[in-house]
Structure 1
Amino acid sequence: MNWIYLVIAGLFEVVWASTMKMSHGFSKLDWSIATVVGMIASFFFLAKATKALPLSLAYPIWTGIGAVGSIIMGVMFFGDKIPGITWFFIALLLIGIVGIKMTT
């Protein structure tokens, strides 16, 4: 169950990062509220996950899910352009996340 909490925490990290962009510097109230709710949910589930999972494992996986998820959101919904070589490093990040999980 702790791994599920960790994945949920990572997904909420993507939510708050995306809604923060849509808040336009916290100038749009609805997106600003969504950002804060996403942050609270992300930290809540991270805290639940770290009750049982080591911090040295949970934190890098949480940030990795958030980083890769935010990149994908940026490309799909915000029109971000990512150079080909960057995708190589994104793949390395994913390999690192999977490697951390598999070696524990």
Structure 2
Amino acid sequence: MSWVFLIGAGLAEMMAVFWMGKSKGYQIVKWSILSVGTFALSFYLLSRSLETLPLGLAYSIWVGIGAAGGVVLGMLYLNESRDRWRIFFLLLIIGSVIGLKVVA
């Protein structure tokens, strides 16, 4: 169940970052509320996953899902740059998260 909490926390983090981008620096109330709410959900789910998973592993995966997912959503829906270097480093993040899971 801890892995379900961790994946959920990562997805909530990803959505929170996306809503934060849509809020234009927390100036649009609707998106700001969604961002803060999903950040809170993300922290709650992360804390539940930490009941059995090691901190270093859980935190790394949580950050990786949130960061990589936020970048992908930004590229797809917020017209952020799709530069090849950006995609390369995004793939490095994803590869690092997978590598941490493999060796942990």
2:103 counterpart residue number: 103
2:43 counterpart residue number: 43
1:33 counterpart residue number: 33
What is the CA-CA distance between 1:39 and the residue it aligns to? 0.7
* Pairs aligned (count): 104
Which amino acid counterpart does residue 50 of structure 1 have in structure 2? L
CA distance in 1, matches of 2:26, 2:93: 30
CA distance in 2, matches of 1:29, 1:13: 19
Structure 1 residues 86 and 23: CA distance shift in structure 2, 3 A: closer
CA distance in 1, matches of 2:32, 2:93: 29
User: What CA RMSD, in Å, does the superposition of the two structures yield over aligned residues?
Assistant: 1.1
- Percent identity, aligned pairs only, is 35
| Structure 2 unaligned regions, length at least 5 | none
CA distance in 2, matches of 1:73, 1:86: 13
| Structure 1 unaligned regions, length at least 5 | none
TM normalised by structure 2 equals 0.93
What is the CA-CA distance between 1:101 and the residue it aligns to? 0.9
Q: Which runs of at least 4 in structure 1 moved beyond 3 Å after TM superposition?
A: none
Could you list the per-position Cα deviations for residues 41-68 of structure 1 after superposition, in whole angstroms to 9, with x for gaps in the alignment? 0000000001111111111110000111
